[in-house]
Chains A and B, each alone.
Chain A
């Protein structure tokens, strides 16, 4: 990969370091223990957390933020645990994802991954009900990703009919779970979202 100095953004690493979770990124000395420990890198050799960190430190902002890799992390904490520099790579990846979402909202980059849509649909359920509501989550997520009700329903049917029937038959999708389980003090939870957002 060629690196063009004039395309680098020296501020990028500070932006990540000042995002919650990203504080320790500059401790990285590129030993690659993270990549060697990573179960995702074990499956897909293109996935390389060491490289993502290096690119971030160099200031390759657009390349990092529009990459697929940052959305492939399973947050398993193996890298964080084994890192000799306490970079806290799982959390750093989370910080980079937060910056990517921010930049995508501003229209500065394009995120191809569906993960931000899933995460925001998940957080919406908590904001509304205080708890996760699986049906609401799936509906919101599929509608966002498949753009429109009909295609969302068709995709959901394709992906989840078998699993849904399996769970239903075993009483793991009880009738009570068809509706959200709303807590009494959603006002307290809404205050959290108003103050921190997500």
Chain B
């Protein structure tokens, strides 16, 4: 089945610190001829801060209904939004009582379960397919890449779309782009600490430092990620981490959509690479 049109859920970070992910995601889908239509009036998914699962279900039932009314499947580039949208979709499809409880709160939560909610990485690798994406590749990004999956793309496995212990969808994107994925065996699924950033910064810094140092030790030219919170920790906060531990890292961190965009022949600026905190110049120079 070919994908031509999707309901786009950018997530709250897409307008601020993940604006580079938003821009590069749109550029990649444009290259592939897939229309992303931003959902009108979407609300926050509750992120990692909504402790009550019922709150997550209600917030995201409303989001799913918006897309369902258009008859479109939801695509989001954020791992946390994906987790919340997808677990709501699953819970509501499986539980008639829960659907009724949502409906009783407000008619705007009356989800029928006729669509799906997926991460953009899942859509590209498993729906559009590597063959189709491969046809549009124009350049080779000859770099060594640490594919960093973090948490929600693959865990918990009944929601995630990748192998929970050894996810590889981003590895496939790297290979398609002409790069070389490093092993990054243990670290690829290790948490960056993002949800603790504001309340236990010390733990968050330690977790992110380990990811950055492992990538450096394994000789990566850059890290790629699919999550705005991982990107915030590893890229925007990298200078803070360097200062905190008195170390030097200097590791570029790209969204996977930025790396894929380069291979699709999109100019770096149109992928918002100029907005990355750690310079991506050396990566851009290796695009041939």
Given A81-B157, A118-B199: A192 touches B55 (CB 8 Å cut-off): yes
Cβ contact of A76, chosen from B17, B47, B155, cutoff 8 A:
B155
B142-163 contact mask (Cβ, 8 Å, vs A): 1 or 0? 0000000001100111000000
Distance A184 CA – B41 CA, assembled complex (angstroms): 6
**A63 interface residue per 8 A CB criterion:** no
Mostly, the A contact residues are helix
- Nearest CB on A from B242, distance (A): 11
Chain A residues packing against B (C-beta within 8 Å): 20-21, 39-40, 43-44, 71-72, 74-78, 80-81, 88, 90-91, 94, 97-98, 101, 113-115, 118-119, 122-123, 125-126, 130-132, 134, 141, 162-163, 166-167, 170-174, 176-177, 181, 183-185, 188-189, 191-192, 195-196, 198
Chain B residues packing against A (C-beta within 8 Å): 12-13, 15-17, 19-20, 41-44, 46-55, 58-59, 62, 105-106, 108-109, 151-152, 155-157, 164, 189-191, 193-196, 198-200, 203-204, 206-207, 236-237, 239-240, 274-277
Q: A189-B59, A196-B52 are in contact. List 15 more A-B contacts (CB 8 A).
A: A20-B52, A74-B191, A88-B156, A123-B46, A126-B44, A134-B17, A163-B236, A173-B17, A183-B41, A188-B62, A188-B106, A189-B62, A192-B55, A196-B58, A198-B52
Q: Mind listing 23 A-B residue pairs with CB under 8 Å?
A: A43-B207, A72-B200, A74-B203, A74-B207, A76-B155, A77-B152, A80-B156, A81-B155, A94-B53, A98-B51, A126-B59, A166-B236, A172-B16, A172-B19, A174-B15, A174-B16, A184-B41, A188-B108, A189-B59, A189-B62, A191-B105, A192-B109, A195-B58
